Amino acid sequence: MYCDILAVIVLIVQVPINFLRDVFAPYWMTIRSTLPLWTEEELGPTTPKQQHLILTLEIIRIEQHLPRHFRPQGRPEKDRAAIARAFVAKSVYDIPTTRMLIERLATDVALRRICGWQTKGDVPSESVFSRAFAEFAKTDLPQRIHEAVIRETHEDRLVGHISRDSTAIEAREKPTSKEKPPEPAKRKRGRPKKGEEKPKEPKRLERQSTMSKQEMLDDLPTECTVGTKKNSKGHKETWIGYKLHIDAADGQIPISCILTSASLHDSQAAIPLATLSAERTTNLYDLMDAAHDSEEIRQHSRSLGHVPLIDINPRSNKALKEELDAEARARKRLGFRFPEEVRYNERTTVERVNSRLKDEFGGRHVRVRGAAKVMCHCMFGVLALTADQLIRLIT
| β 307-310/253-261 pair status | unpaired
Does 21 score more than 60 pLDDT? no
pLDDT band with cut points at 50, 70 and 90 for residue 262: very high
Q: What is the mean pLDDT of residues 362-366?
A: 94
Express each pLDDT in 173-197 by its tens digit.
999 876 666 666 666 676 766 666 6
Instruction: Work out the number of other CB atoms within 10 angstroms of the CB of residue 210.
Output: 9
User: 371 and 162 in contact (C-beta within 8 Å)?
Assistant: no
The number of residues in the chain equals: 395
- Res 202: pLDDT: 85
Express each pLDDT in 161-175 by its tens digit.
999 999 999 999 999
What single DSSP character describes residue 55? H
Alpha-carbon distance of 219 to 200, in angstroms, equals 19
Alpha-carbon distance of 129 to 168, in angstroms, equals 26
Does 32 score more than 60 pLDDT? no
CA atoms in the 13 A half-sphere facing the CB of 56: 30
DSSP annotation string for 278-303: HHH-EEEEEEE-GGG--HHHHHHHHH
Does 277 score more than 90 pLDDT? yes
Amino acid (one-letter) located at 132: A
User: 243 and 262 in contact (C-beta within 8 Å)?
Assistant: yes
- Res 155: pLDDT: 82
Alpha-carbon distance of 114 to 103, in angstroms, equals 15
User: 124 and 117 in contact (C-beta within 8 Å)?
Assistant: no
Does 23 score more than 60 pLDDT? no
Instruction: Work out the number of other CB atoms within 10 angstroms of the CB of residue 212.
Output: 11
- Res 44: pLDDT: 63
Alpha-carbon distance of 59 to 27, in angstroms, equals 9
Q: What is the mean pLDDT of residues 287-314?
A: 92
pTM of the model as a whole: 0.84
Q: Which residues pair with 163 in a beta bridge?
A: 248, 287
Backbone angles phi, psi at 138, to 5 degrees: -65, -35
- Res 335: pLDDT: 81
Does 52 score more than 60 pLDDT? yes
End-to-end CA distance of the chain: 38
| β 236-249/225-230 pair status | antiparallel
Express each pLDDT in 68-120 by its tens digit.
654 545 555 668 999 999 999 999 999 999 999 999 999 998 899 889 898 89
Contacts of residue 130, defined as CB under 8 A and 6 or more positions apart, other chains included, come to 98
- Res 84: pLDDT: 95
Q: Is 27 exposed, middle or buried (0-12, 13-18, 19+ CB in 10 A)?
A: middle
